[in-house]
Structures are given as C-alpha cells and as structure tokens.
Amino acid sequence: MSNQLNGKIALVTGGSRGIGAAIVRRLARDGATVAFTYAAADERAQALVREIAEAGGTALPIKADSADVEALQAAVAQAAQRFGRIDILVNNAGILLRGVVDDYPLADFDRMVAVNVRAVFAAVQAVLPHMGQGGRVITTGSVTADRAGFPGASVYSMTKGAVAALTRGLARDLGPRGITVNAVQPGPTETDMNAGAEMHAMLSSLMALGRIGKDSEIASLVAYLASAEAGFITGAALTADGGYLA
C-alpha cells in the first residue's frame, strides 16, 4: 500500500464491480478508507471488502440504488457518520441501455438519466456538508460524450455529455471552497458492458494502441485526481481511451 491518500475518507458509488471495484481497490491501496455503494451484487460487495481487509485496508459496503435519490442520500449520510467526513467522492455508478431512437422506451431514457446524471448531482449535494477544503469530486464519464461511435448509443452519449458539462459548472461553484471537480472519460474498457472476445476484438481494432483498456488503468487516473498532486486540476474531462478518439 502507498500512502498518498493516507487518512482520507472516500465514497465510491457503484463500487462492487468493473471500474468501480478497481477504483475502490486503488484508493484503498493508496491509503484511503473507502465506503462504496452497490445496487444488487451482495456477494461481490462482500468479497471486495474481504479482499481489501486482507490487504490491510478498510472498506464499507452500502446497498443503495443510485436511481433512488433518498437511498443515495442515506448512503452518503451513513458513510459520513461512520467515518466523520468525506474527503473524496467518486460518482462511478452508471448504466448503459442501448436502443435506437425509433422505439427507445421512455422508461429506459428516464432511468439512464436518473442513474447517470441526476445521481451525480444528488450525491454532490449530499456530500458537501461533510466535505471541507481540499475535497475531491470525480465522476466517471465516457468518451461517448465526444463520439457516440455506434448506433443505439444516443441516450447514453447524452448523459455522458451532461456529466462533462455538469463537471465544469460544479468546478466553478465549488472552486472557492477549495474543492476540485473533474470527470474521467474512459474509452472501451474490459467491463461487463463490453464482455466477450468478439466484442473485445472489434473494439481493439478501433484503438490506436490496438487493445482495449483495463479497469485498473482508469482507476489510476481517478487516484491521481484524488491526490494532492492534482490540486490545480478542476473542471476537466480527462480522457483515458487508448487513442480511440485520436
């Protein structure tokens, strides 16, 4: 374990699997105490807690669907009450519901906006009473904010574009308090959203590096933004995409 985040308290939404779990692992490895939310994967959440404990860290799992604002607010309150404050908020929870515009269900549209956009705003609102000078807010966006790339991604792309715009606005709101606000925009990455060898091969062909990303590589950028070294970076949407947009 390194110590660049030693003594810091972090909350990661959607932290039981994929990029979220990688972020939880990395922040804990760097010395932070990490609370994380998850919607349904109880076994994965408990396994992650055990893994971090075995490595000498501390993690607190909190079951909360990010589409439920009250549950999300309660999760923030629980983490703050348990650890006394929150220094780092990572808005990682997100969903992808594909579909072309002709027959895209409005219920799917509303849920995607609720999880990918509204939950980010609600979590920031809820965490601010517990976050002081030097706080960090980091949101997982996507390169689809800049390039949809495929049919069926219009609503997802819209939500990630909204995340980038919200990040800029929140940076202005919170800058006077010494709180930085940034987004990380992964390109194609090994997650449940991009499962299967055929999908990996297709996506790899689009990358300048000839491969898709690893969740740990996204987590490393999040960890940097959470560190003291990144204190002059705010309002940014930083891309980690292996050259997908190049």
Segment 81-107, tens digit of pLDDT: 999 999 999 999 999 999 999 999 999
Count CA within 13 A, CB hemisphere, residue 138. 31
Q: Is residue 1 part of a domain?
A: no
How does the average pLDDT of the chain come out, rounded?
Answer: 95
Q: Is residue 122 part of a domain?
A: yes
Global pTM reads 0.95
Q: Is residue 151 part of a domain?
A: yes
Q: Is residue 142 part of a domain?
A: yes
Segment 139-190, tens digit of pLDDT: 999 999 999 988 999 999 999 999 999 999 999 999 999 999 999 999 999 8
Q: Are strands 88-91 and 59-63 parallel, antiparallel or unpaired?
A: unpaired
Q: Is residue 4 part of a domain?
A: no
Task: Write down the pLDDT at residue 194.
Answer: 58
Q: Note the helical H segments in the chain.
A: 18-29, 42-54, 69-83, 106-113, 119-127, 154-174, 197-204, 215-226
Task: Write down the pLDDT at residue 2.
Answer: 67
Q: Is residue 33 part of a domain?
A: yes
Instruction: Tell whether the model's pLDDT for residue 192 goes beyond 80.
Output: no
User: Which residue range(s) make up the domain with 16?
Assistant: 9-240
Instruction: Tell whether the model's pLDDT for residue 234 goes beyond 90.
Output: yes
Q: Is residue 214 part of a domain?
A: yes
Q: State the total domains in the chain.
A: 1
Cα-flanking dihedrals φ and ψ of residue 62, to 5°? -130, 120
Segment 220-233, tens digit of pLDDT: 999 999 999 999 99
Report the CATH number that the domain containing residue 197 is assigned in CATH.
Answer: 3.40.50.720
Task: Write down the pLDDT at residue 1.
Answer: 55
Provide mean pLDDT across the span 197-206.
Answer: 82
Question: Which residues are designated catalytic?
Answer: 156
Q: Is residue 184 part of a domain?
A: yes
Segment 45-85, tens digit of pLDDT: 999 999 999 999 999 999 999 999 999 999 999 999 999 99
Instruction: Tell whether the model's pLDDT for residue 191 goes beyond 80.
Output: no
Cα-flanking dihedrals φ and ψ of residue 36, to 5°? -145, 145
